[in-house]
Amino acid sequence: MSVRKILSVFSISLLFLTLSTTVIFAGGKQEKSENTQTTESEETKQADEQKEPEQASGEQNAAGTPIITGETLPAATVNGEPISQSDFQQLLGFLQFQYMQQGMQVQGPQLDQLKEAVLESLIDDELIYQIAVNEGYSMSQQELDEALSKTKEQFGSEEAYQDALKKEGLDEGALKMTLRKRLTRDKYETENFIDAVSVESDEIKSFYEENPGQFEQPFQFRSSHILIQVAPDATEEEKQEAMDKINAARLRIEEGEEFSEVARDVSEGPSGPNGGDLNYHGKGDFVPEFENAALELEIGAISEVVETQFGYHIIKLTDRREAQVVPFEDVEGQIAEYLTRVKAQEKRSSFLQERKPGADITRNALNS
């Protein structure tokens, strides 16, 4: 998990709003994202884990910004304030990964366009922060402490949090500075862009009626499983031991124990503490052996022992959702939120068109 990634959500959302050609709403079509649960990826998914983009090398100052030497330049500067190469590469790498997840390889001229969009996004963020400060916006110590606490919580433990800081060449003082900048900018953007626009009910209804393809919900199924892991190089004795464990678990269920309780007790996958629940998925999300076995079941039924590359499973099918058009009432709020973001982005863009020409901006990343 990356500290900078956690702190760049707003920049990422604005970039996708600008670059994306489709709108995806929860409950309708769903695209795979960085937030896919580890329960899926570690137990049944076919995709590899995302690798963190490499960080730019070079020394850093107390604020986490690379020190400019004769060979190391910031990605850009805004009125003399540097934007680090590491921040630029982190955001660029993350967006490239997101496009890859959608089956798109960004190369050549398209990569150049993406680099330009990423750099301009970071420049825009820095410029708006500077304008916010000049107009008297700031964060209280209590707000900053609360934000820091929430950030720490996402790492699960103090050790993981400190490791993440060390990996990125940051310390807590630098993180606080980054948080202060982001929160100050967020406050300014909320008050001046988001709260300054409104969406009428007829706009929401029109969007729903004019974009029917965005609200088609594909077939989905929900399943739970119990997993006894088997290493790829396991011996026959180890395989038999695992088979004995999974058969014993299935016998407990046949004798009347709740599937979820047995899963919590014996399942070796991350879903175990959740009773084996894997939530809803579409076709192609799981390895074929698992998916085929799950879809042969009636709701509430459990499978025989199923072998996959992960080990031995017992699968329970808990629900099926046939393909349908999501009712307007189910997505009305999400459409309103999306249209608000679109209008806020338009207002933000107009604001930057007025203010950007007067700023002293240098762009180094696009020349490398």
Q: Are 184 and 133 in contact (CB under 8 A)?
A: yes
Structure tokens at 124: 């825009």
Please report the domains of the chain, with CATH numbers, ordered by start residue: 3-210+329-367 (1.10.4030.10), 219-322 (3.10.50.40)
Residue 185: predicted pLDDT: 95
Instruction: Judge if pTM exceeds 0.85.
Output: no
Token duo for residue 99: 């496009």
- pLDDT for residue 202: 97
- pLDDT given at position 67: 38
- Residue 59, pLDDT score: 40
- What b-and-e string marks burial along 172-191, b requiring 16 or more CB atoms within 10 Å of the CB? eebbbbbbbbbbbbbebbee
Residue pair 48/278 in contact (Cβ under 8 Å)? The answer is no
Task: Assign 3-class secondary structure to the chain.
Answer: CCHHHHHCHHHHHHHHHHHCCCCCCCCCCCCCCCCCCHHHHHHCCCCCCCCCCCCCCCCECCCCCECCCCCCCCCEEECCEEECHHHHHHHHHHHHHHHHHCCCCCCHHHHHHHHHHHHHHHHHHHHHHHHHHHCCCCCCHHHHHHHHHHHHHCCCCHHHHHHHHHHCCCCHHHHHHHHHHHHHHHHHHHHHHHCCCCCCHHHHHHHHHHCHHHHEECCEEEEEEEEEECCCCCCHHHHHHHHHHHHHHHHHHHCCCCHHHHHHHHCCCCCHHHCCEEEEECCCCCCHHHHHHHHCCCCCCECCCEEECCEEEEEEEEEEECCEECCHHHHHHHHHHHHHHHHHHHHHHHHHHHHHHHCCEEECHHHC
Per-residue pLDDT of the chain (368 residues; tens, 9 = 90+): 454 444 444 444 444 444 443 333 434 443 333 333 444 444 544 433 333 444 434 444 333 333 344 347 999 999 999 999 988 998 898 888 888 877 788 888 999 999 999 999 999 999 999 999 999 999 999 999 998 898 888 888 888 888 888 887 778 888 888 899 999 999 999 999 999 999 999 999 999 999 998 998 899 999 999 999 999 999 999 999 999 999 999 999 999 999 999 999 999 988 999 999 999 999 999 999 999 999 999 999 999 999 999 999 999 999 999 999 999 999 999 999 999 999 999 999 999 999 999 999 999 988 75
Distances (CA, A) of 328 to 79, 172, 255: 47, 46, 45
Which pair of tokens denotes residue 336?
Answer: 């309103």
- Please, which residues have CB within 8 angstroms of residue 332's CB and are 6 or more apart in sequence? 204, 208
